[in-house]
Amino acid sequence: MRVALFLTCVNDTLYPDTGRAVVKLLTKLGVDVDFPMAQTCCGQAHYNTGYRHEAEPLARHFSDVFGGYDAIVTPSGSCGAMVRELYPRMGERARAEGRGDGLATALAPVVPKTYELTEFLVDVLKVTDVGAYYPHTVTYHPTCHGLRSLGLGDRPRRLLQAVRGLELKELPGADECCGFGGTFALKNSDVSAAMGADKVRNAESTGADVLCAADNSCLMHIGGTMTRLRTGMRPVHIAEILASTEEERA
């Protein structure tokens, strides 16, 4: 199976550790993972801000780069949702606008092959115990796109529960949005910040040392709020927890 890592532009630029963790984890599980160097951005920020036409060439580029792989794995719930939920919609809209089937046909191959990391582990590799060791108290924030667009369900929690040394704490109001929402954080900064602060307070109430999620964009927002509110909690991507082993303590 030819597996490609789709790291997303945010992870690549700001969170390379997450990428390294995914590579380490998948390699350990026997997957030969490739990182196509031509990859850039799925176009989510463009699409969701109202620039669908600017997003189209990025989606096409994504399809060109990843079309030839058997599976595309991404550690970002929202970028995964972009491909799986919104690429088909972009194709339909182009058709409805009388631009033919070109876009739909170009994007179709990547849609069913794109997996969010925890989905890939549980559904494709069929593992829940990845042999990780992480001696911390952790609370898990499901993120909206992972929860509602991709329907990740309890997959991430099952993976975390199997991690040795890890104590999982339930997050109150877990399914509430953290307030990031891409350009929403800029355009509606007051509301976004209030949502972030509430999320952080809920996380704090669990007494966990670490808040974990499957999306670095939400973690950037939550983590930035944690720093400002001086909570002493850390935001950590789930891939980094699952890639931790006893030999190299995280």
- If the CB atoms of residues 126 and 190 are measured against other proteins, the closer one turns out to be 190
- If the CB atoms of residues 48 and 137 are measured against other proteins, the closer one turns out to be 48
Say if residue 94 is exposed, middle or buried (CB neighbours under 10 Å; 0-12, 13-18, 19+): buried
Say if residue 144 is exposed, middle or buried (CB neighbours under 10 Å; 0-12, 13-18, 19+): buried
- Closest approach, Cβ 55 to other proteins, in A, equals 8
- If the CB atoms of residues 36 and 161 are measured against other proteins, the closer one turns out to be 36
- If the CB atoms of residues 11 and 118 are measured against other proteins, the closer one turns out to be 11
- If the CB atoms of residues 48 and 161 are measured against other proteins, the closer one turns out to be 48
Task: Count other C-beta atoms under 10 Å from residue 98's C-beta.
Answer: 6
- Closest approach, Cβ 167 to other proteins, in A, equals 26
| Interatomic CA distance for residues 79 and 44, integer angstroms | 7
- Closest approach, Cβ 71 to other proteins, in A, equals 17
With a CB cutoff of 8 Å and minimum separation 6, the contacts of 189 are none
Phi and psi torsions of 145, nearest 5°: -70, -35
| Interatomic CA distance for residues 183 and 166, integer angstroms | 34
- Closest approach, Cβ 126 to other proteins, in A, equals 22
- If the CB atoms of residues 33 and 210 are measured against other proteins, the closer one turns out to be 33
DSSP lists the bridge partners of residue 33 as 3
Length of the chain: 250
- Closest approach, Cβ 7 to other proteins, in A, equals 6
Say if residue 85 is exposed, middle or buried (CB neighbours under 10 Å; 0-12, 13-18, 19+): middle
| Interatomic CA distance for residues 122 and 140, integer angstroms | 17
- Closest approach, Cβ 211 to other proteins, in A, equals 14
- Closest approach, Cβ 105 to other proteins, in A, equals 20
| Interatomic CA distance for residues 231 and 223, integer angstroms | 10
- If the CB atoms of residues 167 and 204 are measured against other proteins, the closer one turns out to be 204
Task: Count other C-beta atoms under 10 Å from residue 228's C-beta.
Answer: 12
